[in-house]
Amino acid sequence: MNASQFIEKHSFYPLHKTHIKTGKQFKFLDKGLVSYEETKSCFVVAGDPVCKFKKDIPFVLDQFVQWAHEQGKTVCGYYFSQFAAEGVTRLKSYPAGITLGTNLSDFELAGKKSKEIRRALNFGKKNNLVFQELYNDDYFELFFELKNLESKWFANKSTFKKIKFLLSPLRADQNKISDRSFVVKSKKNKIIAFVSLDEFKEPGQQSSFYVDHMFQSPSSYRLALDYLISEIILTLKAEKRVYLDLGFCPFQGVRPLNFIQSGLFLTKYMSYIYNSKGVYSYKKKFSNYTKSSYMLMDPKASKAKQILSLSQVTFS
């Protein structure tokens, strides 16, 4: 079984499938698979390992660290769950931000918490916007239109296009597209917003989805993406899915308790590096669920070299 097949069969954590689309390296160990990128001094791990059983995650991480040391490398990384951060023994964990999402079982359209979602739905209907799921044939037919829209979005938000570690590019490769894709079209049949989702599944539960791509036209229909996300929430709710993971908000919820966390805390105010507050405020409109995400570092190795490696893979 290769890495793609192993991830497809055993993924129960957001981001696992993105590893295939972002050119990660993979290391099979006794009880799981680790995804990472390599710098001169470090193996930078991309979140929780893929394991048959969740209880094995800390063990696989520790085993990977031992293997890395045998190769003369230090291990660090981010986007780890609290379970992984608390269980690993060879690395030290630091709160690095939060992940926002919608618990679809608890979601209700009525009430104060869903005010922005109702507003977006009303906007879409008022402007005769069309919500549509794309299937494989649709995706490949519209690929260049989507790619052009993505380029315009990134040109308008130049910081985002530098972040490569967690975000996969749009591709026309049959084996690399997301599990599901949705668009909103204007009344002139022009695509003005796009969201793609990757599936993951907690053992014994109905499936959930992670947002892989999310962008819209920067020049028209300001709430088009809001409308699209709102319609996706309603669609997944009707399908009795469990969760819509909207992704990582770096530096949010971090307290300056030590040197590393102080650096992360200060970075959230440096919008020219990453508009963390803006991303958080936007995703919060659609969220009823928050969970902490962690960075892991080797306490016995140079922190400066690890931070440099984390920056290299993120903004390469």
pTM confidence score: 0.87
Could you read off the pLDDT of 4-41 as tens digits, one per residue?
889 888 888 888 888 888 889 999 998 999 999 999 99
pLDDT top residue among 153 and 213 = 213
Q: For the chain, what percent of residues have pLDDT higher than 90?
A: 51
Q: Which architecture, in CATH terms, is 104-246?
A: 3-Layer(aba) Sandwich (3.40)
Q: Mean pLDDT of all residues in the chain?
A: 86
CA distances from 114 to 10, 54, 101, 159, 290 (A): 33, 33, 13, 30, 16
Q: Which of 72-81, 147-156, 190-199, 227-236 has the lowest mean pLDDT?
A: 147-156
149 pLDDT tier (thresholds 50, 70, 90):
confident
The pLDDT value recorded for residue 161 is 42
Could you read off the pLDDT of 216-263 as tens digits, one per residue?
998 888 899 999 999 999 999 999 999 999 988 876 666 665 656 656
Place of tokens 């981010």: 78
- Taking residues 194-220, report their average pLDDT: 87
- Taking residues 170-194, report their average pLDDT: 84
pLDDT at 181 over 50: yes
The pLDDT value recorded for residue 160 is 46
- Taking residues 84-105, report their average pLDDT: 93
pLDDT top residue among 203 and 44 = 44
> What gap in Å lies between CA 201 and CA 273, rounded to an integer?
33
- Taking residues 199-218, report their average pLDDT: 87
pLDDT at 265 over 60: no
The pLDDT value recorded for residue 176 is 57
The pLDDT value recorded for residue 186 is 93
pLDDT at 61 over 90: yes
- Taking residues 198-220, report their average pLDDT: 86
Positive or negative, the Cα torsion across 169, 291, 96, 265? positive
User: How many Cβ atoms are within 10 Å of 175's Cβ, its own excluded?
Assistant: 8
CATH 3.40.630.30 location in the chain? 104-246
> What gap in Å lies between CA 193 and CA 310, rounded to an integer?
31
> What gap in Å lies between CA 156 and CA 225, rounded to an integer?
15
Instruction: Provide the CATH number for the domain formed by 3-101+250-281+291-314 in this structure.
Output: 3.40.630
pLDDT at 125 over 50: yes
pLDDT top residue among 165 and 245 = 245
> What gap in Å lies between CA 32 and CA 304, rounded to an integer?
29
Q: For the chain, what percent of residues have pLDDT higher than 70?
A: 87
